[in-house]
Amino acid sequence: MNHRSDANRWGALLFLVGLASVLLGTMAGSQGWQLWWSVGQDAVSQQIVMDIRLPRSLGAWLGGALLGLAGAVAQGLFRNPLADPYLLGSASGASLGVGTYLSLFGGSAWAMTWWTGLGLTGAAFVGALLAVLLTLLLARGVQQTLRLLLAGVVVGVVLGAVTSMVSLMQPQVLQAMQGFMLGSTAFVGWSACATLGLVLIFCLTLAWVFARVLDALTLGEATAQSLGVPLRLARLVLVGVLSLATGAAVAHIGLVAFVGLAAPHLVRSLVRTTHDRSLLLAALMGGALLALADALARVLFAPQELPVGVLTAVMGGGYLLWRVYRDSTLGGAR
């Protein structure tokens, strides 16, 4: 009962932190921090806040929540704390999709008309989806967790090499892909927020339904099967959740590093609870992390904007290095 109450308290706190981060993002502009009520009361200033900063900050929270949820599902499904949302090759597939689209149609990834930008988002999502399907094909389904894991690594490496080949053959593609490769929320609008929100609700619902399967998997696959857990169906659904959440996030905000890996670790360091709560907590943690990082990325070197993926890599990587150092120190003390 104490674990449940602790999880509820942390959930409420993380929700408030995420809300504060979104509001903070509405005050992050090219000139540094600006109170939104002091920007001005003219139509242009209001449009900047309501149509640019607010959907961007909300989109960062939604994208981070999807990555946090996907990371928690991946770590629970593969029983590996180093698993991240890009484990099944979705990141390399999305990069190849964007690179192929740009090589065919040309132009800049972030300076296109609205219909071409929609095509770029679709290309990233289709690329991520096809990469996951290729992983499932090579792994011959989802029955063998180790085979699925190895197939994802192989697909990621191969598709990454193909993307590099495309970039070398057409250097202008590499320059146009930089915004996608480093992560950016600069062109997230209200339509993207609606899409990300619907995907988040759908994925959270499915993950919550199969949360008990993840609890059973912590005891081992043999024990879970002896308890009558439908492992095959659960793996299929959870891989679908992982793929959809990651594909939607990557398609709209690019390749943001470490959020999906660090968010579940942070949750486990705060509270020990069952997966039905830890999945939600990981989503809230991921949303708060990315929304805060997006706001900081806009003001640290204003008026120049730092790619949010660079900042999350530094923050997330630094945290994980500290965790490794602390755990090794504690282990040596024992």
Q: What average pLDDT does range 266-280 have in this prediction?
A: 89
Q: What average pLDDT does range 156-160 have in this prediction?
A: 90
Residues 197-207: pLDDT tens digits?
Answer: 999 999 999 99
pLDDT band at 332 (very low <50, low <70, confident <90, very high): very low
Q: What average pLDDT does range 8-20 have in this prediction?
A: 92
Q: What average pLDDT does range 227-233 have in this prediction?
A: 77
Measuring CA to CA, which residue among 88, 93, 127 is closest to residue 236? 88
Residue 166: is its pLDDT beyond 60?
A: yes
Percentage of the chain beyond pLDDT 70 is 86
CA-derived radius of gyration, the chain: 20
Q: What is the pLDDT of residue 288?
A: 94
Highest mean pLDDT among 62-71, 99-108, 138-147, 307-316: 62-71
Q: What average pLDDT does range 287-312 have in this prediction?
A: 87
Within 8 A by CB and 6+ apart from 117, the residues are 187
Q: What is the pLDDT of residue 202?
A: 94
Give the integer Cα–Cα distance in Å for 298 and 296. 5
Residue 228: is its pLDDT beyond 80?
A: no
Residue 127 token pair: 């690329």
pLDDT band at 37 (very low <50, low <70, confident <90, very high): low
Give the integer Cα–Cα distance in Å for 93 and 288. 26
- Cis previous bond, 85, omega within 30: no
Say if residues 26 and 55 touch (Cβ distance below 8 Å): no
Q: What is the pLDDT of residue 169?
A: 80
Residues 61-95: pLDDT tens digits?
Answer: 999 999 999 999 999 888 888 888 898 888 888 88
Residue 283: is its pLDDT beyond 50?
A: yes
Q: Which spans in the chain are helix H?
A: 2-25, 43-48, 54-78, 90-105, 114-138, 145-169, 171-182, 190-209, 211-217, 221-226, 231-253, 259-270, 275-299, 308-333
Q: What is the pLDDT of residue 200?
A: 95
Domain coordinates of the chain in residue numbers? 2-333
Amino acid symbol at 318: G
Q: What is the pLDDT of residue 229?
A: 75
Instruction: Using DSSP, state whether 22 is helix, strand or coil.
Output: helix
pLDDT band at 114 (very low <50, low <70, confident <90, very high): very low
The mean predicted confidence, pLDDT, of the chain is 82
Give the integer Cα–Cα distance in Å for 307 and 298. 8
Residue 334: is its pLDDT beyond 60?
A: no
pLDDT band at 289 (very low <50, low <70, confident <90, very high): very high
Instruction: Using DSSP, state whether 230 is helix, strand or coil.
Output: coil
Architecture of domain 2-333: Orthogonal Bundle (1.10)
Say if residues 73 and 238 touch (Cβ distance below 8 Å): yes
